[in-house]
Amino acid sequence: MSFVQPIFDLRESPPLSSSLLSLIISWAQENKYTPHVANYGAITKGRRRMRHLLGCTHKSSCIASSHKFCSECLDGWRSRYSSAIKSKDDQLDRKCPLCRENIPPSKEMIAELKFWRLRKHQLEAESDVYSEEYMFAKSTIERLEREIGDWTETIDYSKGDIECLVLPTEVWKAALANDIQKVLNWLGPPPIDKRRINGRNTDFLNYALVSHAVMGKRYDLLSILLQLGADADPISAHGHSPLEMIAADPEYNAQARLLLEWGAEISDGDMISRDNIIQNAVEKGNTKLANLLKSEFGGRRCEIINLSKYPDLIGKTCVVEKYLPDKDRYKVIFETTPRQNSR
């Protein structure tokens, strides 16, 4: 059995042998440190994830103790999102697989704790200390404080991405108020720096401008931001994209369809699966969006190809309106034609 040598400080520790790696894997499984990975069989899933982590050869962008792993490998071992760890009890006590020391919290966990502390303080200022929201905020803070402990350092899961700017208070408030001009003035002339247009509100779960536009139902602002190159899938500190947060609510269908046009995705994540999101949409009566999400190209901006019956349409851009399963075809709308001329 061959393993790739894991990355860690060679000045402090010698390379691990294959037999020792196997021993560590067996020990982790026997002591219930087996991680859950949806794509693997029940017996092999923990072994493969542990082996993958120990065999990580990527350049490290995050550090557990003195041992280094890439963000993708470490995120598969212990999620950066507190809500994901909460839903998987086996992840809460996960330690560094090499030295068994505790793993520092992620920046996302710190951001979530900051948000709920601020929200609890706001509710207390309003003398609202018996409401369901207050009780939820209080219990969430207690859980996060247990998970984070006394750590003063954090792990960076950014995968080497360029760190986005912090959204000034007046800018994200302008987005909520639909003050498009003020937002554009802050963004500046195109081409706009990706760090700026994808800037994060550190006081509100690391929301991006797109997130605020979606949750505030600011359709025109959302459309402008996406056209200017904003990320359609900014993940907040609690681990969800805007599309995942609104998919079940029919009141947000306009924003959801716009996000789909610009490539937003719903993937199987740590906290909820794509099928769960679709099922939630169906249960809440949002069948139109659920049907779009079920199909491969539902709601997407696409190019027409191989349509011999209508050669004049080949190469034109359209938006997929819905999937017709009985005919195995899609109903599309061309961006330059009225809706009644859809095919």
On whether both 52 and 68 belong to a single domain, the answer is: yes
**Structural domain that includes position 211:** 169-294
Tell me what pLDDT residue 24 has. Answer: 45
On whether both 184 and 215 belong to a single domain, the answer is: yes
Ordered mean pLDDT values, 10 residues apiece, the chain (343 residues) = 27 40 48 35 40 52 57 71 59 66 84 94 95 94 88 72 86 95 95 94 94 96 96 91 91 94 76 81 89 85 85 87 81 66 49
Beta bridge partners of 301: 319
Residue 112 maps to a domain: no
Q: What is the pTM of this model?
A: 0.73
On whether both 174 and 284 belong to a single domain, the answer is: yes
Residue 82 maps to a domain: yes
**The last residue of a domain, from among 92, 111, 132:** 92
On whether both 326 and 247 belong to a single domain, the answer is: no
Residue 36 maps to a domain: yes
On whether both 211 and 281 belong to a single domain, the answer is: yes
On whether both 260 and 321 belong to a single domain, the answer is: no
On whether both 207 and 265 belong to a single domain, the answer is: yes
**The last residue of a domain, from among 65, 92, 119:** 92
Number of independent structural domains in the chain: 3
Beta bridge partners of 187: none
List the one residue out of 75, 98, 104 whose CA is nearest residue 27: 98
Rounded Cα distance between 203 and 281, Å, is 29
- Residue 255 phi/psi, 5-degree rounding, is -70, -40
Tell me what pLDDT residue 84 has. Answer: 54
**The last residue of a domain, from among 34, 59, 92:** 92
Residues 237/206, Cβ–Cβ less than 8 Å: yes
The single-letter code of the amino acid at 295 is: S
